[in-house]
Amino acid sequence: MPTSAVPVPASASALRPVRFTGRLLAALAAVATLVVVFLALIALTDGAGSGLAAWSATLGAGVVLALWRGRRRTWPARLVPFLPVVVAAALTATVCVPTVPTTRRYPPALPFVAAQQWSLATGSRVAVYHYPPTGPGTRHPVPLVYLNGGPVRGISVLDHRFLQLLAAQGYDVYAYEQAGGGRSDLLPAGQYAISRSVRDLDAFIGRLDRGQVDVLGFSSGGAVLTRALADPGVATRLHRAVIAEPGPMDGPTARTAGHTGRQSARGLAPAPTGPRSTRLPRYAVAFGLMRLGLLTPGTGLIGQAEGDNAFTAADLGGDTASAYCARDAHRIPVEDTAQNFSFSPAASLRIQQTVKDSPSIAPQLNRSRTPAMLMIAECSSQVRPWETAVLAHDPAVQRTQYMPGVGHHMWNGLDDNNDRAVAVITAFLEDRPAPLPDYPTREEIPAFLRDHR
């Protein structure tokens, strides 16, 4: 007589998916816990050994836990607790493996200007660009030096085009990429500081050996220029200073809260296209933890050169859009080529931190005598008190030019923005009447801030 199959109770069948789901959730929780432990150890060890110290410790802890959980199981079942450990080890290993070269890759030469390498007295070796005066007009005897923003970023093609416009007005234009940026050599991580940037400017003018110079400082370059004006030894080398959209000049200013200018294109413009290093686990973790202050700029997780090589223009995200007015959201120009773009996140964060840690320079700036002009954009993404602090504390600021219809990147190739910026800058450098009203004046600062201009 054939044996009949023993029926499985319906309740037992219903429990199987529940048990499977419970085991799956437990395994996922174990993986997540190990990943969190790994990230915590990355922060505690400052990414030592490219993250391998944290990875080894996490793997060891996971193995010990898996052995403990499987101690009472039969031999095949003892392997089950190791599955989350293997998955977590594979996920976290991606943070420890470089996917770009770890030695510095410098941008290729630009087709329209040659980069010279100058060794400065400070020890910095910087890439220098020279645009001799062109056009039929007057040749201006005082050289014009451009300090770009970043803080540690290559000079964009958009900026190079603007410098060519200034040269076409008869100016002998020089620009250099600050140490660590663009085609300039890197510094040891601990040497990046706002004070070093000022010393490099002083050394650059000395190396130029042309006497006093005019300086145009944009964004963080404007902050370097402001601090140079507060240093009597450097200020004596400056003929005139144009401070455009400056960042904070010192710690007290950096900690000042306030509004920005009119609405920018941030959040309105299409997302930037192109590859992003921040979509890769290694660089997402490294740049994210550095931004949060959980890794130092000199972290052992990624070297400075590797970070520079990995970072792309798309990684800036909405930062680029924030430099344009809301009305320009759908026509933001391409600022740079993928080959020329260069940004050093670690060095930039280090310099920004040294600004935040620095004492007030207001007493020294109050003694400045170098004629200066402040340029402020209508749709500026800079905190307004950062900009008005320069006007409030520097008695030698002779005029302020509030630039309507433009964002932080005032010379952007749109409409007549470049021509207007050239007109404002050259009028001041040549001591001609300003093309725009002097606004705001020192007396108008409180109303300017109150009205959220």
User: What tens digit of pLDDT does each residue of 126-154 get?
Assistant: 999 999 999 787 899 999 999 999 999 99
| Average confidence (pLDDT) over 174-198 | 96
- Section 327-352 average pLDDT: 94
Closest C-alpha among 228, 259, 255 to residue 242: 228
**Cα separation, 298 vs 196, whole angstroms:** 17
User: Per-residue pLDDT for 7 more than 70?
Assistant: no
Q: Could you tell me the pLDDT band of residue 21, with boundaries at 50, 70 and 90?
A: confident
Segment 295-301 mean pLDDT: 92
Query: How does residue 425 score in pLDDT terms, banded at 50, 70 and 90?
Result: very high
Q: Is residue 188 part of a domain?
A: yes
Task: Find the CATH number of the domain harbouring 191.
Answer: 3.40.50.1820
Q: What does the pLDDT read at residue 1?
A: 47
Q: Is the peptide bond before 151 cis (omega within 30 degrees of 0)?
A: yes
User: 23 versus 341: which is more confidently predicted?
Assistant: 341
Q: In which region does residue 403 sit, left (phi positive, over 0), alpha (psi from -120 to 50) or beta (all else)? A: beta
The SS3 assignment for 240 reads strand
Please say which residue of 93, 127, 156 terminates a domain: 93
For residue 136, what pLDDT is reported?
Answer: 80
State whether 278 and 383 are in the same domain. Answer: yes
Residue span of the structural domain in which 352 resides:
116-450
Mean pLDDT of 366-380: 97
Helix (H, G, I), strand (E, B) or coil at 376: strand
pLDDT at 81: 78
| Better pLDDT: 257 or 121 | 121
Q: Is 98 part of a structural domain of the chain? A: no
Predicted structure pTM score: 0.90
pLDDT at 106 > cutoff 90:
yes
Residue 100 lies in a domain: no
- Given a cut of 70, whether residue 340 has pLDDT beyond it is yes
Q: Examine the domain organization and report whether 120 and 244 are in the same domain.
A: yes
Q: Can you tell me the distance from the alpha carbon of 61 to that of 143, in angstroms, rounded to the nearest whole number? A: 63
Integer Cα distance of 192 and 348 in angstroms: 8
Kindly state the average pLDDT of the residues 255-281: 91
Name which of 392, 393, 367 is nearest 448 in CA terms. Answer: 392
Q: Where are the beta strands (DSSP E) in 346-420?
A: 372-379, 397-407
CA distance linking residue 63 with residue 73, whole number of Å = 16
The pLDDT value given to residue 361: 98
Sign of the alpha-carbon torsion through 231, 182, 161, 164: positive
Q: What is the mean pLDDT of the chain?
A: 92
Give the pair of three-digit tokens for residue 372: 């200066």
Nearest to 391 by CA among 407, 405, 372: 372
Quick check: is 58 in a domain?
A: yes
pLDDT of residue 8: 52
Q: At what angle do helices 10-45 and 52-69 cross, to 10 degrees?
A: 150
The answer on pLDDT for 302 being more than 50 is yes
Do residue 179 and residue 327 come from a single domain?
yes
Same domain? For 268 and 131 the reply is yes
Q: Are 76 and 70 in contact (CB under 8 A)?
A: no
Average pLDDT over residues 401-429: 97
Same domain, 294 and 443: yes
The verdict on residue 107 lying in a domain is: no
Question: Same structural domain for residues 139 and 209?
Answer: yes
Q: What is the pLDDT of residue 33?
A: 92
What integer is the mean pLDDT of 172-200? 96
pLDDT tens, 37-93?
Answer: 999 999 999 999 999 999 999 999 989 988 887 777 777 767 777 888 899 999 999
- The CA distances from residue 376 to 221, 274, 381, in Å, are 14, 31, 10
Residue 109 lies in a domain: no
Write the CB contacts of 219 (distance below 8 Å, at least 6 apart in sequence): 148, 149, 150, 244, 245, 246, 247, 382, 408
Task: Report the relative pairing of strands 144-147 and 173-177 from DSSP bridges.
Answer: parallel
- Whether residues 135 and 255 share a domain: the answer is yes
Residues 80 and 135 in one domain: no
Q: What is the mean pLDDT of residues 233-241?
A: 97
The one-letter code for the residue type at 67 is L
Question: Counting every residue, how long is the chain?
Answer: 453
How many CB atoms are closer than 10 A to CB 15? 12
Indicate if 265 and 348 belong to the same structural domain.
yes
- E strand or H helix at 116: strand 116-119
Where is average pLDDT lowest: 38-47, 115-124, 273-282?
273-282
Q: Cβ contacts of residue 401 below 8 Å, gap of 6+?
A: 373, 374, 375, 376, 424, 428, 434, 435, 436, 438, 439
What are the b/e assignments for 259-282, b being 16+ CB within 10 Å? Answer: ebbbebbbebbeebeeebbbebbb
Weakest mean pLDDT among 132-146, 185-199, 405-419: 132-146
Does residue 438 share a domain with residue 318? yes
Domain limit, last residue, from 61, 93, 125 = 93
> Do 84 and 166 have their domain in common?
no
**Per mean pLDDT, which range of 57-71, 168-182, 314-328, 424-438 is the poorest?**
57-71
pLDDT at 305: 95
231, 361: one domain: yes
pLDDT band at 241 (very low <50, low <70, confident <90, very high): very high
Q: In the predicted model, is pLDDT for residue 284 greater than 50?
A: yes
Q: Are 151 and 347 in contact (CB under 8 A)?
A: yes
Q: Is residue 366 part of a domain?
A: yes
For residue 398, give Cα distances in angstroms to 38, 132, 140, 228.
Answer: 55, 28, 21, 17
Sheet containing strand 173-177, strands side by side: 116-119, 125-131, 173-177, 144-147, 213-218, 238-244, 372-379, 397-407
What pLDDT, on the 0 to 100 scale, is given for residue 138? 83
Q: CB–CB of 452/388 below 8 Å? A: no
**The pLDDT of residue 426 is above 60:** yes
Q: How many domains would you assign to the chain?
A: 2
Single out the residue in 93, 124, 159 at which a domain terminates: 93
Within-domain flag for 28: yes
Are the CB atoms for 288 and 317 separated by under 8 Å? no
Distance CA 232, CA 415 (A): 40
